[in-house]
Structure 1
Amino acid sequence: MLAASRWIKQRSPKEKTALGCVAGLVLLIILWRTIEDHDTLFVLAEAAHFVGIGLLGWKIYSKKSVAGLSLQTQILTGMFLVVRLYCSFMMEYDIHTLLDLLTAAATAAVLFAMLGSQVASTYQADLDTIKFYYVVIPCLLCAVVAHPYTSHWLPFRIMWAVCVYLEAVSVFPQLRMMQNSKVVERFTAHYVFCLGLSRFFSCAHWVLQLLDGNKYLLTALGSGLWPVMVLLSEVVQTVILADFCFYYVKSYADGTGILRLPVGIV
């Protein structure tokens, strides 16, 4: 492992990028050959999100600080989880509901630490410049226009759409805050990387469906605006987090472990 690590550090930036792409492709193939039920990937995605929130909890407990964390992102995360939980209880109830409940509880604990505990004074409000309502209002408008075509009550369908759109852009205030701070705090970087890993598992679900010859996704895209908006949300969130994950992995491949985000990442 040490020899491999040293070898990677000696590669050029282009070679490291190529190695990262190959590693992602290999992981995708491994998932394709080992996981029979593709819904398992959604469970892995939600579990990765929960692990990310757990890392934030550990940071707050061990460091007694919330420096580097975006309150706006945590508010957005709490909002889409609460709304999705409500819709899940009304529309469907399964393992995903339980995972969302655990993640929502962990997010509530982080919000309490940032708003009502002794460590709240370490919150860097001056760097957290993207207010949550700037994100919520466009998502709500999109949800009114494009929402699921199911037989459920219309408000439930709109709320479900809000969840999808909010989840896609909820990390945006956190990325902007990290960019404003110039150097990213380590546990915060781990948290966002977990979100990127969660997104990888979610996208892998759709890719593997196509590899297995399931044409449902392609058929759905031609059935109206809602499937197109869902796919667009997936793409937006993936692009945002993939860019961050590239710099995250690069910082460790370079041997520094110090993450700096360039201006153009968000």
Structure 2
Amino acid sequence: MNIFRLAGDMTHLMSIIVLLLKIHSIKSCAGISLKTQELYAIVFATRYLDLFHVQHAAIALSFYNMAMKLIFLATSFSIVWYMRYHKVVRRTYDREHDTFKYYILLLPCFLLALLINHKFTIREVLWTFSVYLEAVAIVPQLVLLQKTRNVDNLTGNYVFLLGAYRSLYLLNWVYRYLTENQYRQWITWIAGIVQTALYADFFYYYLKSWKNSERLQLPA
């Protein structure tokens, strides 16, 4: 495992910690899109069908991967549960603005996975679907922030860390391409570039507000 992948995984983990901190400490999910959280739960559920697969030639890495998969599965479903059913947290959910119809994302991603995949098997199609879906899962969250405009610090940090995680994975892929023979992952690469591009506008305003020590506010 190279430093870019490890940094990406830790940044992804930090984003979840920030979100859980918001939910558990202040009992609020204001500014967080339930639609995006449900999409991430679907991403992890369809991607980690090999959850307990162990490669004996790289057993330490296998256990690392297993631990990270369990963490992402458990936290994503617990966040959805809190936002839907916790009697205090669910009252802070912004249903009025979180109105993105996510079947607009689900159906095209699934059809694309059926058409463009490495191998036409159930596991491979679902894995490919998860890659396509992860690329656009942040869209409902970005739409919600665009509608509300004013973004609190924890929500802003959460979205920034998610984007930073994907940016670090781009560096991981570049590193692997340069150091590993015949390393080619066109589906993952293209989906990752699309996902990172979606964060570009948010990154600009986040870094601008951080530089000026101002509250993050997105344009109308």
> Partner of 1:136 in structure 2?
106
Quick one: distance in 1 between partners of 2:179 and 2:125?
A: 31
Looking at structure 2, the residues matched to 156 and 89 of structure 1 have their Cα atoms a distance apart, in angstroms, of 14
Cα deviation for residue 88 of structure 1 reads 4.2
Which structure has the higher relative contact order (CA within 8 Å, separation 6+)? 2
Give yes or no for the alignment of 1:216 onto 2:162: no
Q: TM-score, structure 1 length as denominator? A: 0.73
Given the alignment, which residue of 231, 243, 265 partners 2:201? 243
1:43 correspondence with 2:12: no
Q: Deviations over 1:123-151 (max 9, x none)?
A: 001111213322111110010001123xx
Determine if the alignment matches structure 1 residue 186 to structure 2 residue 148.
no
Say yes or no: does 1:117 pair with 2:92. no
Question: Which structure 1 residue ranges, 5 or more long, are not aligned?
Answer: 1-36, 221-226
Once superposed, which parts of structure 1, at least 4 consecutive aligned residues long, lie more than 6 Å away? Answer: none
Task: Give the structure-2-normalised TM-score.
Answer: 0.88
* Higher fraction of helix: 1
CA contact (8 A) 2:41 2:76 kept: yes
Distance 1:262 1:233 in 2: 27
Residue 100 of structure 1: which of 69, 73, 76 is its match? 69
Contact in 2 for aligned 1:45/1:197 (Cα 8 Å): yes
Q: Percent sequence identity over matched residues?
A: 31
Q: What amino acid is the match of 1:180? A: K
Instruction: Determine the C-alpha separation between the residues in 2 that align with 1:96 and 1:44.
Output: 14
Measure how far apart 1:42 and its partner are.
2.5
Match of 2:39 in 1: 76
Q: How many residues align?
A: 213
Of the three residues 11, 21, 24, the one matched with 1:61 is 24
Distance in 1 separating the partners of 2:63 and 2:134: 19
1:190-217: CA deviations, max 9, x gaps?
A: 111110111121001122234x465635
Gaps of 5+ in 2: 56-61
TM-superposed deviation, 1:94: 4.6
SS in structure 1 at match of 2:204: helix
Partner of 1:24: none
Bigger radius of gyration among the two: 1
Q: Answer whether contact 2:170 2:189 (CA < 8 A) is retained.
A: no
Q: Tell me, yes or no, if structure 1 residue 234 matches structure 2 residue 203.
A: no
Q: What per-residue deviation string (whole Å, max 9, x for no partner) do you get for residues 51-99 of structure 1?
A: 1111111111222211100000000011111111214446975522321
CA distance in 2, matches of 1:62, 1:131: 30
Structure 2 residue identity aligned to 1:236: V
Root mean square deviation, CA, Å:
2.1
- Paired residue type of 2:46: V
